[in-house]
A and B are shown apart, each in its own frame.
Chain A
């Protein structure tokens, strides 16, 4: 007996009990569909977040320096980075392209009688527009000379500009931030929002005047780039050596874009894995349902098994027939699950306006697991069927 005949037999008997077959395989349908939907959503979320990260304009040739020995995640570390560190880094990091320290604070802007407090008031360096690829669209950015000369100048983001000046160009206007008079040189091009923050609700000025404007020159973060990606490793060494030398201890930590992407990927992968594992439990439960029905089916068909044995079916033929049935019913469920899962993943992501990333790998894996489940849970009932004594099986009255 070849392998086609048990399959044919299995198809026949599944079609003979259509409703039961469909109900039996519901667990597998739901399991496979859930795994595909959830993994696809995880992939969609990942690609969304990664696009956001890339959208910050920071490239693979960049790294950031943060105060504190390790990343606290939450809370504010002791701000250990000082303006003198920036000067030292500018001298000692080889292949340095851009270097932007960030002093972050709050600043109440006054223009005539109007007052407005943007989300961010930041002291930065003249490298900012090139480093973050955000050029002024109106007027100009401040120069290195103006930065070093501690000129009282500022550049304003679109949202802040609109709130203070409406549709008029603010270039050349005099404002006061926390009482300090500054001249607006330009308006930054629109950046949009990131993780719900409006990145255009901002005012920036040379970090050399931060102390006067926002009352602090302590540095929250230093952004720096080197000329190309391959130099990031050396830059990390240079930064570490320079700052450790100056502070006599390592009281800062570094992030690279790749490091950030890795962390985000890890978190999202872990989430996806956990959620999919929960969905996969449904596959297991589905398998138990299949075993249950297969056992019922073996009992119901005792007489059929007896007849088949009387006319020459070997134990193995009976075993194969029932395992094939179990696998077939599971795989039919898996196929339906793939269709439903793909459709629902597509639908959900279209509704959420995310890229519809269909997790074909997860679909294949879910089908493979379903195959294993069908085989595993089919083996015991099939063994029971194969071991039936032909004389007793023939006597069986359904």
Chain B
């Protein structure tokens, strides 16, 4: 297994200033993730896992250190370049789904394609394919309020896949779901991973983490354990 590196963090520090208090959310994280990996990031709350995810996903910049995504150092990029990278190379899946409530399923999936400048026919076709793939062919024109939690999360996953990203970052993707729906989502992640997708999920649920192939544990802003559980 000698796949190319998708994302590499080198001595990444993140310092938050809250009034006069400084909080070191990441204290020097080194992490390398290669194409086709399925990694869980675990740790107690406040350990910096969300911060790490935001930085790996180009939503935020490190205070110190380097993050290379597809060999591009994101530290030096302006807002617009970061937005373009998020659009093309990163797919986010959130705990609370974060679908736009006024748009129906297919319009939600189309959003990243709109910002990528894809024309209407092409993006409608692609969004329909993705929704079919996540098993929501019959629900394309339903609003999020008309979908169950599991269905909403599958729409969100379809949206994350819209621009064929280099990595998919999922922050507690099953946190708001019942165990059956959660199981379906993890199953879907596994399928995606088998099809070649690179996945990083942030979770505090040991069982969810055990379904991935590598577990990275964070504590107080540092990587304290990193083990491959299934090659």
Q: Is B152 an interface residue (CB 8 A)?
A: no
Q: Is B111 an interface residue (CB 8 A)?
A: yes
Contacts of A2 in B (CB 8 A): 117
Q: How distant is the Cα of A16 from the Cα of B99 in the complex, in angstroms?
A: 16
Q: Is B30 an interface residue (CB 8 A)?
A: no
* A312-B80 contact in complex given A12-B102, A307-B100, A394-B98, C-beta closer than 8 Å: no
Least CB distance, A8 to chain B, in whole angstroms: 9
* A317-B102 contact in complex given A310-B59, A311-B159, A391-B60, C-beta closer than 8 Å: no
Instruction: Contact check, B100 vs A5: say whether CB atoms are below 8 A apart.
Output: no
Instruction: Contact check, B114 vs A303: say whether CB atoms are below 8 A apart.
Output: no
Q: How distant is the Cα of A311 from the Cα of B103 in the complex, in angstroms?
A: 15
Q: Contact residue range for chain A?
A: 20 to 34
Interchain CB contact (< 8 A) of A317 among B88, B103, B115: B115
Q: Is A140 an interface residue (CB 8 A)?
A: no
Q: Is B92 an interface residue (CB 8 A)?
A: yes
Interchain CB contact (< 8 A) of A307 among B79, B83, B84, B98: B98
Instruction: Contact check, A303 vs B98: say whether CB atoms are below 8 A apart.
Output: yes
Residues of B76-109 at the interface with A, using a CB-CB cut-off of 8 Å, are 79-80, 83-84, 86-88, 92, 94, 98-100, 102-103
Interchain CB contact (< 8 A) of B115 among A12, A13, A304, A311: A311
Q: Is A316 an interface residue (CB 8 A)?
A: yes
Q: Is B116 an interface residue (CB 8 A)?
A: yes
Least CB distance, A304 to chain B, in whole angstroms: 6
Interchain CB contact (< 8 A) of B83 among A16, A303, A315: A315
Contacts of A312 in B (CB 8 A): 83-84, 86-88, 112, 115-116, 163
Least CB distance, A324 to chain B, in whole angstroms: 14
Contacts of A310 in B (CB 8 A): 57, 59, 86, 92, 98
Chain B, residue nearest A316 (CB): B80
Contacts of B94 in A (CB 8 A): 394
Least CB distance, A393 to chain B, in whole angstroms: 10
Q: Is B11 an interface residue (CB 8 A)?
A: no
Instruction: Contact check, B111 vs A311: say whether CB atoms are below 8 A apart.
Output: yes
Residues of A254-312 at the interface with B, using a CB-CB cut-off of 8 Å, are 303-304, 306-312
Chain A, residue nearest B86 (CB): A312
Residues of A1-23 at the interface with B, using a CB-CB cut-off of 8 Å, are 1-2, 5, 12-13, 16
Instruction: Contact check, A313 vs B59: say whether CB atoms are below 8 A apart.
Output: no
Chain A, residue nearest B94 (CB): A394
Least CB distance, A384 to chain B, in whole angstroms: 15
Q: Which of A5, A311, A394 has the most CB of B within 10 A?
A: A311
* A311-B87 contact in complex given A1-B114, A316-B80, C-beta closer than 8 Å: yes
Contacts of A16 in B (CB 8 A): 102
Instruction: Contact check, A311 vs B102: say whether CB atoms are below 8 A apart.
Output: no
Binary interface profile of A, 310-354, with partner B (CB < 8 Å = 1, else 0)? 111111110000000000000000000000000000000000000
Binary interface profile of B, 218-230, with partner A (CB < 8 Å = 1, else 0)? 0000000000000
* A1-B102 contact in complex given A311-B92, A311-B159, C-beta closer than 8 Å: no
Chain B, residue nearest A312 (CB): B87
Q: How distant is the Cα of A391 from the Cα of B57 in the complex, in angstroms?
A: 11
Q: How distant is the Cα of A306 from the Cα of B111 in the complex, in angstroms?
A: 13
Q: Is B211 an interface residue (CB 8 A)?
A: no
Contacts of B79 in A (CB 8 A): 314-315
Q: Is A390 an interface residue (CB 8 A)?
A: yes
Interchain CB contact (< 8 A) of B117 among A1, A304, A315: A1
Q: Which of B54, B57, B99, B114 has the most CB of A within 10 A?
A: B114
Q: Which of B79, B80, B116 has the most CB of A within 10 A?
A: B79
Instruction: Contact check, B59 vs A390: say whether CB atoms are below 8 A apart.
Output: yes
Q: How distant is the Cα of A304 from the Cα of B94 in the complex, in angstroms?
A: 13
Contacts of B87 in A (CB 8 A): 311-313
Known: A310-B86, A311-B115. 5 other contacts (CB 8 A): A12-B102, A12-B103, A308-B115, A310-B98, A390-B60
| Nearest 4 A/B pairs, CB to CB | A312-B87, A312-B115, A314-B83, A311-B112
